[in-house]
Structure 1
Amino acid sequence: MIRTISVAIYLLFLLIGTIPSLIRVKKYEKENKIHEKYELVHRVAHNFGKKMIDCTGSKVRVTGYENIPKDETVVFIGNHQGNFDIPLLLGYIDKPIAYIAKIEIMKLPIVRDWMKYMRCVFIDRKDPRQSLKAISQGVEYIKEGQSMVIFPEGTRSKGDKIGEFKPGSLKLATKAGTTIVPFTIKGTYKIFEANKNKIKPAEVELIIHPPVYTSGLSKEELNELPDKIKETITSALK
């Protein structure tokens, strides 16, 4: 419990400490300094994610990093074990990424501002019409060069089992004709969810699989794609 409280206090001060950078991002936006704005957003998000994992005392091993195309927009697709999945990816993938996020996160001050500048897409699951608009917005972001992360399960598994992929969860990638990079997360649930919501150090592994190219696929191949991606992700959990 002491560790959990200490980590919570540390993260609160860490978040508050990003406010000067947030002010600078807004200044860059007003001055139309696009490159400087997104460079700063990525640097802050990357550092925050890594510090968030490090402060739990967890050890991280990344394999397959060479599978990430360097100068190409991609959609990362993988399993979702726990709350620390997002900081894991932010901190250990040195590439600007954004997320498909629940609209409820919009209630969190500072966090919502950073997520907007990261070009995250907020979805209201109770409103199908809004969800369709959000997906279209995500496709536009990808076409503009923003890499995205999708968790097709739609929620945390809180364990080492992988849930069913939500229907249409890969549409963001296939509509944009973007390369998919599957990934498998192992052990993040052991940091928090497996301990009755208390933080403990864990051995975490991030496995990045070879890219899957969606451009030029036939209708039949597109229909088979979700099962193919899921099998790739699941194979590393066995």
Structure 2
Amino acid sequence: MIDILLVILLIIGLIVFLIFLVIGLSLLYLHVVRLITKNKPYNHPKVRDSVRLFSKVIIKLSRVKYTFIGKEKLPKDNFLLFSNHQMYTDPFILLYDLYDKDLGGFAKDELNKIPVIRTWMKRRGILMLDRKNNRNGAETMIRAIKQARNGQPIFIFPEGTRSRNGELLDFKSGAFKLAMKSKKPIYPVVFKNFYKHCFFHLKRINCEVRILDPIPYDEYSNLSTIELSIIVRDKILKSLR
């Protein structure tokens, strides 16, 4: 019995070691890229490659399996992604599968505490959002609007946080100022069944990411942010059912 427990502990220890090794090497790679790409634009090939690699590492470590549907609907640039949020890997999936779109977007302010990650995400056009600081939120939104107006595609999770049980939360209407001010087409994005995923799951969960048909600016230009948030939320909710 003791021998079996020892083997199990050794296996667990090896897995933990390998995970930290992969993360450590990834952070080292990001640090090197950070130095190489200093003063380079968000769509520089090295920045793009680093985004794809690091996002892939996060996805692989999470062990989540999914299908991605609707990529062909997206133009090269000048669009917005409004998505529901079910798992911490959601933004990394968008950054990985749509790496050639050079996405910018929003991330939790907690990532600001990790120097390499902070610099890398800033260089990519990922904005740190402090949800407890209204002034910070307003300034961050202004920067996002500027990036979108300059053509960079932006993703945002208007629920403001993850849904732990898969229920679609209310959308923050303020998130839709990004669309109103930048005047870009909106592509609703649906993450389905990701909330069911667990690292230790043995049974595969059928997770899916789906990009819905766009909402052009001329179809929402006369709406309020509240009205627009309801329309986008309803489209995502309908696809979740």
The structural deviation recorded for 1:229 is 0.7
Which residue, out of 59, 82, 94, partners 2:65?
59
Which residue, out of 13, 16, 26, partners 2:25?
16
Find the counterpart in structure 2 of residue 83 from structure 1: 88
CA distance in 1, matches of 2:162, 2:183: 27
Counterpart residue type for residue 219 of structure 1: N
Aligned CA distance change for structure 1 residues 29 and 221 (closer, same or farther; 3 Å): same
CA distance in 1, matches of 2:154, 2:168: 20
My pick for the range that moved more, 152-161 or 141-150, is 141-150
CA distance in 2, matches of 1:12, 1:189: 27
Counterpart residue type for residue 102 of structure 2: P
Find the counterpart in structure 1 of residue 6 from structure 2: none
CA distance in 2, matches of 1:232, 1:8: 43
Counterpart residue type for residue 91 of structure 1: Y
Aligned residues: 229
RMSD across aligned C-alpha pairs, in angstroms?
A: 2.8
Q: Secondary structure at the match of 1:168?
A: helix
The structural deviation recorded for 1:117 is 1.0
1:162-201 equivalent positions in 2, closer than 5 A: 162-192=168-198, 198-200=199-201
The structural deviation recorded for 1:42 is 1.7
Counterpart residue type for residue 147 of structure 1: P
Find the counterpart in structure 1 of residue 53 from structure 2: 47
Is the 1:50–1:91 contact (alpha carbons within 8 Å) kept by the matching residues of 2? yes
More helix as a share of residues: 2
CA distance in 1, matches of 2:13, 2:217: 42
Aligned CA distance change for structure 1 residues 212 and 4 (closer, same or farther; 3 Å): farther
Find the counterpart in structure 2 of residue 73 from structure 1: 78
The structural deviation recorded for 1:74 is 1.3
Q: Deviations over 1:183-216 (max 9, x none)?
A: 1001222233xxxxx5435322001101111257
Q: Deviations over 1:39-60 (max 9, x none)?
A: 2212221232233323444321
Which has the higher Rg, Structure 1 or Structure 2? 2
Q: Deviations over 1:41-88 (max 9, x none)?
A: 12221232233323444321111222112x222111110001121222
Q: Which has the higher contact order (CA 8 A, sep 6+)?
A: 1
Q: Is the counterpart of residue 105 in structure 1 residue 114 in structure 2? A: no
CA distance in 2, matches of 1:160, 1:56: 18
Per the normalisation by structure 2, the TM-score is 0.82
Aligned CA distance change for structure 1 residues 27 and 53 (closer, same or farther; 3 Å): closer
Q: Secondary structure at the match of 2:173?
A: coil
Per the normalisation by structure 1, the TM-score is 0.83
Structure 2 gap ranges (5+): 1-8
Aligned CA distance change for structure 1 residues 127 and 233 (closer, same or farther; 3 Å): same
Q: Is the counterpart of residue 214 in structure 1 residue 217 in structure 2? A: yes
Is the 1:187–1:205 contact (alpha carbons within 8 Å) kept by the matching residues of 2? yes
Counterpart residue type for residue 118 of structure 1: R
Q: Secondary structure at the match of 1:81?
A: coil
Find the counterpart in structure 1 of residue 134 from structure 2: 128
Which residue, out of 22, 27, 35, partners 2:36?
27
Structure 1 gap ranges (5+): 193-197
CA distance in 1, matches of 2:126, 2:165: 26
Find the counterpart in structure 2 of residue 195 from structure 1: none
Q: Secondary structure at the match of 2:115?
A: coil
The structural deviation recorded for 1:3 is 7.5
Aligned CA distance change for structure 1 residues 222 and 34 (closer, same or farther; 3 Å): closer
Aligned CA distance change for structure 1 residues 220 and 3 (closer, same or farther; 3 Å): farther
The structural deviation recorded for 1:140 is 0.9
Of all paired residues, the percent bearing the same amino acid is 27
Which residue, out of 205, 217, 227, partners 2:230?
227
Q: Is the counterpart of residue 205 in structure 1 residue 214 in structure 2? A: no
Q: Secondary structure at the match of 1:153?
A: coil
My pick for the range that moved more, 160-169 or 8-17, is 8-17
